[in-house]
Amino acid sequence: MSRFWSATTRALQPYVPGEQPKLPNLVKLNTNENPYGPSPKVCEAITREIGDSLRLYPDPNGERLKSAIAACFGDIEPRNVFVGNGSDEVLAHVFLGLLKHEQPILFPDISYSFYPVYCGLYDIEFVTVPLDAAFAIQVDDYRRPNGGIIFPNPNAPTGRLLPLGEIARLLDANPDSVVVIDEAYIDFGGESAVTLVQRYPNLLVVQTLSKSRSLAGLRVGFAVGHPDLIDALERIKNSFNSYPLDRLALAGAAAAIEDREWFERTRQAVIRSRTTLVVELQAMGFEVLPSAANFVFARHPQHDAEKSALALRQKGIIVRHFKAARIDQFLRITVGTDEQCEKLVAALKEITAA
Ligand SMILES: *Cc1c(COP(=O)(O)O)cnc(C)c1O
């Protein structure tokens, strides 16, 4: 605290990202990064971009990237697409540009912990809606006056998927609210709601290249929706930073979207490893929530989650534990390579045998 801080700064409760320790040989399963690298075509595209052109500003509108994203989905035009510096930045603009209204917005009690942070930053009222006893979203619980609705699908940190039909039902019940579906993990087991965008002008779908395209370090995210929603985001963006994506990010991201084959191969590998990991965890007595993401959310009836996370850390493996109501007995474990998963399973066998 300093006397130079504004009242806004003093009132903030910033988000705390998962740690990025620099230890050698660490098995890092705490922040849902992709264990496989990005497409080699990403590195080629970035390398090509390094040179004299860096003296020039990048395309403020990211037109080429928007076209690549639109082509990837089909049925979508570049004017349905907004791009930003990671989906966290896209989400920040969404909160200010589309979710700040008279009524409080709604999101699940267990959800992405950045949402309440944006509400604090932009002074947006919110009400949390409890997940059911099985940690699933019940869309009928969102039939109430609201200034907007947002949640991840699959949800984080539970990994549970809400089927597309339920999202359509939620949209039908809330025609006067913006409904934002944060699809950071959709490529690991769900069907994207982008296919509903032409039918629902109040639907905004947010995705990131950080997880399924293995580009957390490049910082690229995007939103797909009706041009009126996209215009709102452009207005906020152009009142904040005209060039959120640099030349390297724009070039690398377009190459990643265009390399369908690498994308398919690596996401299928993650899905296969997840299936094996779930079986192994269940064999040890863990209860594992059904996951459609690149992580699993698991608890052991006899072993305290925080202690297990610490014991794993002593063995050079880090996972995420949240000291939050309802979920403090769960571990959130990123699906790594098969080798990393085997190390995790061996370590947990020792811990749960003790
Ligand atoms: C990882 C994640 C994001 C942020 O992704 P970036 O594009 O890296 O900013 C957004 N929402 C959820 C639910 C996530 O898990």
What Å distances lie between residue 69 and 72, 75, 99, 295, CA to CA? 5, 11, 24, 25
* Low-confidence spans in the chain with pLDDT less than 50: none
**Cα–ligand 1 centroid distance for 183 (angstroms):** 9
**Cα–ligand 1 centroid distance for 88 (angstroms):** 6
Q: What's residue 106's pLDDT? A: 98
Q: Cβ(152) to ligand 1 under 6 A?
A: yes
Q: Cβ(212) to ligand 1 under 6 A?
A: no
Q: Which residue's CA is the nearest one to ligand 1's atom 12?
A: 184
Q: Cβ(186) to ligand 1 under 6 A?
A: no
Question: For the chain, how many helices (H) and strands (E)?
Answer: 11, 12
Atom of ligand 1 nearest to the CA of 89: 9
Backbone angles phi, psi at 327, to 5 degrees: -120, 10
Domains, the chain, ordered by start: 19-37+261-353 (3.90.1150.10), 40-258 (3.40.640.10)
Atom of ligand 1 nearest to the CA of 185: 15
Q: Residue 31: which residues within 8 A CB-CB, separation 6 or more? A: 17, 18, 20, 216, 320, 334
Q: Cβ(340) to ligand 1 under 6 A?
A: no
Q: What's residue 23's pLDDT? A: 81
Within the chain, strands assigned E span: 27-28, 81-84, 105-108, 126-129, 149-152, 179-182, 203-208, 221-225, 287-288, 295-299, 317-318, 331-334
Q: What's residue 20's pLDDT? A: 83
**Cα–ligand 1 centroid distance for 18 (angstroms):** 12
Q: Cβ(182) to ligand 1 under 6 A?
A: yes
- The two three-digit tokens of residue 38, written as one number: 């990005």
What Å distances lie between residue 81 and 86, 90, 100, 332, CA to CA? 14, 11, 21, 31
Q: Which residues of 44-67 are buried (b: 16+ CB within 10 A; e: fewer)?
A: ebbeebeeeeeeeebeebbeebbe
Q: How many CA atoms lie within 13 A of 137 on its CB side?
A: 32
Q: What's residue 281's pLDDT? A: 98
pLDDT tens column, 289-324: 999 999 999 999 999 999 999 999 999 999 999 999
Nearest to 222 by CA among 88, 36, 99, 96: 88
- The number of residues in the chain equals 354
**Cα–ligand 1 centroid distance for 26 (angstroms):** 22
Cβ proximity of 296 and 335 under 8 Å? yes
Q: What's residue 113's pLDDT? A: 94
State the residue for tokens 């305290």. Answer: 304
